[in-house]
Amino acid sequence: MNNLKTVGLLAFMTALVVLIAQVLGFSPVTALIFAFVFNVFIYFFSDRMALKASRARPVTEAEFPQVYGIVRRLTQHTDMPMPTIYVIDSPQPNAFATGRSPKKAAVAVTTGILDILTFDELEGVLGHELAHVQNRDILISSIAAMLAAAISMVARMAFWFGRGNSRENPIGAIGAIVSLLIAPIAAMLIRFAISRTREFQADRSGAEITGRPLVLASALQKISNGTSRIPMNVNPATSQLFIDNPLKAVRGRRVSKLFSTHPPIEERVRRLTEMASGIR
């Protein structure tokens, strides 16, 4: 079901690009070219961009043997290639995975998450991140983010380089202003919706990998408490990749669910608890 939702959301997003182009005077072909170029770019460079934007640095097994040991055991259990391990020097407890395929995957954890989680809880979190890689939803989310950027770019270009003088073409000018305001919001909502559904799926898949959904639930509660207090210097474009919203400390806990990149921790914990009890 999540895969069908994702396909539908991406199809709607691409159609939105074409619609904006028609309203503002761009040809549908131009809009499709925008989408294609951005898709190709993010396919090959999304992992590098996410790691750089998050200030993650590669580490060796000698530096972090516990993380390497857990990831190696989980990847062997799931018959996945060993990802590259990164660490982010931040007191906020958080983690994310990126990469266009399991062979090109990278897993990053903050120093803060290593300080507050037990060994079993850290295993639950890393299982969650490996589930993202296994499900290949990191790539899908990245494509959605770049299409969102393409929509915003089309709207801004139309506003500044649109169809001539506003007196000669007042409708075109009004359309440019409306698109400039509405298109980025629509794109963000679609990207956020994709992220939220994927987090639920990764929670379930990660709990299946480790066999201990309650341990992941415990880790999520600790992470949520940590992210609500400690700000993290991270690019907003990559916030959806983290296991919990790293900007929550900046934006506050009472962020509207409509604009949240992550589902509520309480809902995620409830689902994991029901999973442990055998409730579907």
Catalytic positions, written as ranges: 129
**Cβ(181)–Cβ(239) below 8 Å:** no
Give just the sign of the alpha carbon dihedral 212, 64, 261, 149.
negative
Give just the sign of the alpha carbon dihedral 35, 37, 40, 42.
negative
Q: How far is CA 136 from CA 144, 253, 261, in A?
A: 13, 29, 18
SS3 242: strand
Q: Beta strand 106-110 with 84-88: parallel, antiparallel or unpaired?
A: parallel
Write the CB contacts of 213 (distance below 8 Å, at least 6 apart in sequence).
Answer: 203, 204, 207, 272, 273, 275, 276
SS3 238: helix
Amino acid at residue number 92: Q
- In angstroms, the CA 111 to CA 57 distance is 11
Using a 10 angstrom Cβ sphere, with 0-12 exposed, 13-18 middle and 19 or more buried, the burial of residue 111 is: middle
